[in-house]
Chains A and B, each alone.
Chain A
Amino acid sequence: DAGVTQSPTHLIKTRGQHVTLRCSPISGHKSVSWYQQVLGQGPQFIFQYYEKEERGRGNFPDRFSARQFPNYSSELNVNALLLGDSALYLCASSSGTAPATNEKLFFGSGTQLSVL
Chain B
Amino acid sequence: GENVEQHPSTLSVQEGDSAVIKCTYSDSASNYFPWYKQELGKRPQLIIDIRSNVGEKKDQRIAVTLNKTAKHFSLHITETQPEDSAVYFCAATDYSSASKIIFGSGTRLSIRP
Contacts and interface: CB of A to CB of B under 8 A. Distances in A.
Contacts of B102: 45
Q: Give the dominant DSSP class at B's interface.
A: strand
A100 B98 contact: yes
A97 B101 contact: no
B49 A43 contact: no
B91 A42 contact: yes
Given A90-B44, A105-B46, A42 B98 contact: no
A58 B100 contact: yes
B45 A107 contact: yes
Given A99-B34, A100-B93, A104-B34, A45 B42 contact: no
Interface string A34-64: 0000001111110010100001111000000
Interface of B: 4, 6, 32, 34, 36, 42-46, 49, 89, 91, 93, 97-106
The 10 closest A-B pairs by CB, nearest first: A42-B103, A56-B99, A100-B98, A48-B99, A45-B100, A107-B43, A99-B32, A56-B97, A109-B43, A107-B44
Contacts of A55: 99
9 contacts: A40-B106, A42-B6, A55-B99, A56-B97, A97-B98, A98-B99, A104-B49, A105-B46, A107-B44
Given A4-B43, A100-B99, 10 more contacts: A31-B99, A41-B106, A42-B6, A42-B105, A43-B44, A48-B99, A48-B100, A55-B99, A56-B99, A109-B42
A68 interface: no
A33 interface: yes
A4 B99 CA distance: 18
Contacts, number: 63
A5 B89 CA distance: 21
Contacts of B106: 40-42
Contacts of A25: none
Nearest to B89: A42
A106 B43 CA distance: 9
A31 B44 CA distance: 18
Nearest to A57: B97
